[in-house]
A and B are shown apart, each in its own frame.
Chain A
């Protein structure tokens, strides 16, 4: 059972381009969480999704950012028209059910660099 897989591990984009970050949850997990970690800062919640539904997007910027978790395939975090301030590590976590005592497992992260 592979862990949470994120790709790419490193992504470089020029200002104004689009960035697509992928997260394949652990087998059997239907809940996905995205977090952003800016340099020298802690992880900040962005969005919580279940299959085909966005449950909580209160941490995601209103513009340029979107997330989806289709019925088939990985969850995608999309950042349009990237700016230098988007440079960060983006982590995905998955769990088999809504978190309470359930453990959440994190991926290795995608490091986005905007040049």
Chain B
């Protein structure tokens, strides 16, 4: 069964600290993996997209890693800011235009 699981479910960190969010998937055949940020009441916004051959991709303070062998990905946020408070969603695409969404990690950054 194609599934995407994320951990932790929620996370609270102090402003300025780093954090890492995890994503495990069983989607096959794998096409690509995306991390989205979803602010409360808004649509998801893409942060990174990674293919099978990519191990690391950065977008500013966001760095995503992908291990296609173990089917794991992480999203590392450095020097967190209050505006980073949001849900972070891991989305795995199978060939054939199908997306599988994780339930997200709710991140709260406090001053």
Give the interface of A toward B (CB within 8 A): 4, 6, 33, 35, 41-45, 48, 55-56, 91, 93, 98-101, 103-109
Contacts and interface: CB of A to CB of B under 8 A. Distances in A.
A55 B97 contact: yes
B62 interface: no
Contacts of B46: 103-105
Interface string B74-111: 00000000000000010001011111111110000000
Contact of A48 (B43, B49, B97, B101): B97
Contact of B93 (A56, A99, A107): A99
A44 B104 CA distance: 12
A98 B97 contact: yes
B65 interface: no
A42 B43 contact: no
A4 B101 contact: no
A41 B103 contact: yes
Contact of A107 (B32, B43, B98): B43
A67 to B, nearest CB: 15
B44 A106 contact: yes
Q: Which 8 A-B pairs have the closest CB atoms?
A: A106-B43, A42-B103, A43-B101, A42-B101, A106-B44, A99-B97, A108-B43, A107-B43
B42 interface: yes
Contacts of B36: 106
A5 to B, nearest CB: 11
Contacts of A107: 43
A45 B99 contact: yes
B31 interface: yes
Nearest to A45: B99
Contacts of B100: 45
Given A91-B44, A98-B97, A103-B46, 6 more contacts: A42-B103, A43-B44, A101-B49, A104-B99, A107-B43, A108-B42
A45 B99 CA distance: 7
B103 A33 contact: no
A109 B99 CA distance: 17
